A and B are shown apart, each in its own frame.
Chain A
């Protein structure tokens, strides 16, 4: 099935594969950005807790 016919998508390869690639990139970006957002929130919270602890000491 993985013949040149499959990759050429019946002559529509230049439309089909960019669509698949772009959507894959959007999926990957969402996962990366969400993890980054969470990690940043965690760091900010840890910093705020550390500052509160040092103020209390």
Chain B
């Protein structure tokens, strides 16, 4: 098991696996997002309370989910890099940060546009919205901290520490609607028991969630290859990689 673990951490291995996985992730994400969008925007029935405005869920929920998933991946990769001194972990964390930050912005913007017709305001200092905004600040902090040191290793370690400390915000975002009075609706899919939505609304949403995850996988692989090249510029295998 440890052999596999350390092989997985080898930069050339990661580089080639990422290259092979990218087209698969990307093409499957196009299928999943395509189905989810058409089924969600065209065929799903309007909500009995929110009407057609509920369809914003098909882009808002996957963006919000991905914003948390990318952060958790970044913190886990940073933790692995710190504990086992596996450098590829820092590369994964660095690759994940801008993707997660962009989807946090998407979640905030789409949530704000959804809030206007439903709550009567674009923004409220609600626990869910505020904790999601804090997530964006954490992403910006991690991305700013990494290049702030002259020695890249120190920047990596500082960014990993900040991302690990900030991971406490993830359960706060998720449970904010349970712990506090919130304008934001409660969990729709990720709840114990049966989801609140009927299948005609739920399947497109699940497809969008899967599609966004696959898209994250594809973009992470592309960015990770760039990070590996930046960090392994002096290595002999890079010569072969550049020619390919």
Contact surface of A with B, Cβ cutoff 8 Å: 1, 6, 9-12, 15-16, 18-20, 22-23, 26-27, 29-31, 33-35, 37-42, 44-46, 48-49, 52
Contacts and interface: CB of A to CB of B under 8 A. Distances in A.
Q: Return the 6 tightest CB-CB contacts between A and B, nearest first.
A: A10-B52, A41-B226, A38-B226, A23-B59, A34-B222, A41-B229
Contacts, number: 104
Given A31-B219, A48-B234, A49-B242, A15 B226 contact: no
Interface residues of B, number: 42
A1 B56 CA distance: 19
Contact of A45 (B103, B109, B233): B233
A6 to B, nearest CB: 7
Nearest to B223: A34
B116 interface: yes
A6 B46 CA distance: 11
B144 to A, nearest CB: 17
Nearest to B220: A34
Interface of B: 33, 37, 41-43, 46, 51-53, 55-56, 59-60, 63, 98-99, 102-103, 105-106, 109-110, 113-114, 116-117, 215, 218-219, 222-223, 225-227, 229-230, 233-234, 238-239, 241-242
Interface centre among A16, A22, A23 (most CB of B within 10 A): A23
A38 B234 CA distance: 17
A45 B242 contact: yes
A29 B238 CA distance: 27
A41 to B, nearest CB: 4
A19 B60 contact: yes
Contact of B52 (A16, A22, A30, A34): A16
11 contacts: A9-B55, A12-B51, A15-B113, A16-B53, A27-B215, A29-B102, A31-B218, A37-B223, A38-B223, A41-B230, A44-B233
Contacts of A37: 222-223, 226
A1 B60 contact: no
B237 to A, nearest CB: 11
